Amino acid sequence: MNTASGSGPDLALIHGWGLGSWVWQPVLDRLSRNCRIHLIDLPGYGQSAADGDAHTNFPDFSATAQALLDALPERVTLCGWSLGGLLAMRAALLAPERVSGLVLVGSTPSFLQRADWPTAQTPALVDHFSAGVEVQPQQTLQRFVTVLSQGDAKARAITRMLLAGLRAAPQPDSSTLRGGLEWLRELDLRPLLPGIATRSLIIHGREDPLNPAAAATYLAGQLANAQLDIFDNTGHAPFLANPDRFARLLDDFCHAPVTTR
C-alpha cells in the first residue's frame, strides 16, 4: 500500500479512481528531490491487484482513510488526486494532528450533482461507467482515460501516456472499480469542509471535464486556510499537463514555514 523514496518532508501521493499509484511516475523524480514521497495504492490496486485479492465487501470510505493514516508517518502532507482528494480531506478530519498539509488535485467535495450542487457530474455518467466495469473493465478504463484528458492542450500525449500505463500495470478488478464508483456516487463532504483547518493547496485544471473548476473555487472558499492555483488549458490531470509547475508548487508548499497563531 505504501512505498517511500527520497528525503525531506513527508508527502503522500494518493491516486484517483481506476488508475493506481503508477500515475504519479512523471512527477516522482522531481518531487523526491526535496521530499520523502510515499506512493499509496488504494485497496484493490497495485500489489493487491497483482495478487488477485478480491474485495467481496469493499472497504468503508472512512475506514480506508484511517488505514491510509495508519500506514504513514505522524506528520505528513496528503496529496490526493480526484477521488484521492476526497480521501485526503476525510483523513484530515479524522486526525488533523497527523496531517501537516492537504494538496487537492482535480478534486471536489461531491462528484455527483445534487439539488443544490450543479457543479458536478450527472448520475448517468456514473451509471455508464458502473455498467462498463461489470462487462469490460479494461475497455471502460481506456474510455475513462480519454474522457479525463478532454480539454487539455496536451490531451493526446496524456492519453497515450495513461493508456500505456494501463497496459503495463496490474488491473483493478470489477469489484474494486465498482466500489470506488459507489463512493463517488454517495460522497458529499460539503457539510464537513468548515471543519478542516489544515492548510491546503488546491490545484485544478481550468478545462477539467470531470470536476469543473468551479468546484475548486468552492473548495477554496470553504476551507479555512486554502491557496488556489488554476492551470489554464488543462484538464483533469494538471500534474501530467505541467509536471514542472506542479512539482514547484508542491515543493514550496511542503517547505513553507509553519506559522503559529
Distance (Å, rounded) from C-alpha 220 to C-alpha 206?
14
- From residue 132, how far is each of 16, 126, 138 by CA, in Å? 18, 10, 9
Catalytic one among 48, 82, 100, 110?
Answer: 82
130 is catalytic: no
The upper half-sphere exposure of residue 220, i.e. CA atoms within 13 Å in the direction of its Cβ, equals 15
38 is catalytic: no
Q: ∠ CA 104-31-28 to the nearest 5 degrees?
A: 90
Helix axes 61-70, 83-94, angle to 10 degrees: 70
32 is catalytic: no
Distance (Å, rounded) from C-alpha 209 to C-alpha 46?
26
Catalytic one among 41, 152, 173, 208?
Answer: 208
Q: Which amino acids are annotated catalytic?
A: 82, 208, 236
